[in-house]
Amino acid sequence: MEPDHRIIGAEFLRMMTPEVVLNITQQALELTLLVSAPMLGAALVTGLLVSVFQAATQINEMTLSFIPKLLVLVLVLVLAGPWMLRMMTDYMRVLFSSIPTLIG
């Protein structure tokens, strides 16, 4: 998967304006949502499945919902971790390389 070079557009590389700051902030928030989505989605699905199981069996144990979520989140982190790290480092690499053009 190639790095996303649309992060800092060429039209914004001339000077640091409020539009540039808003664009960088928007892209950082989009990246945050994209990177956190696998973990949040896995926790949501696991919590839903455990809740259905608890309702069907009438077991109301607090650790029954915590342990499966913890295990699934660790599994998702192992599987999606390299992708998440690559997305964040690509963004930071492009952002840091654009600093000289943004400030002057």
Residue 32 one-letter amino acid: T
- CA atoms 92, 98, 99, 103: torsion sign: negative
Radius of gyration of the chain (CA): 20
What secondary structure does DSSP assign to 9-28, as a single string?
-GGG-SS--HHHHHHHHHHH
**Reported confidence tier of residue 8, pLDDT bands at 50, 70, 90:** low
3-state secondary structure of 58: coil
Q: Tell me the pLDDT tens digit for each residue of 13-59.
A: 457 788 888 999 999 999 999 999 999 999 999 999 999 998 899 88
Considering the chain, what percentage of its residues have pLDDT values greater than 70? 86
Q: pTM of the entire structure?
A: 0.73
Supply the pLDDT for residue 18.
87
Give the helix/strand (H/E) hosting 8. none
Q: Is the pLDDT of residue 12 over 70?
A: no
Nearest to 31 by CA among 97, 85, 87: 87
Average pLDDT, the chain: 86
Q: Tell me the pLDDT tens digit for each residue of 54-102.
A: 889 988 887 888 999 999 999 999 999 999 999 999 999 999 998 888 7
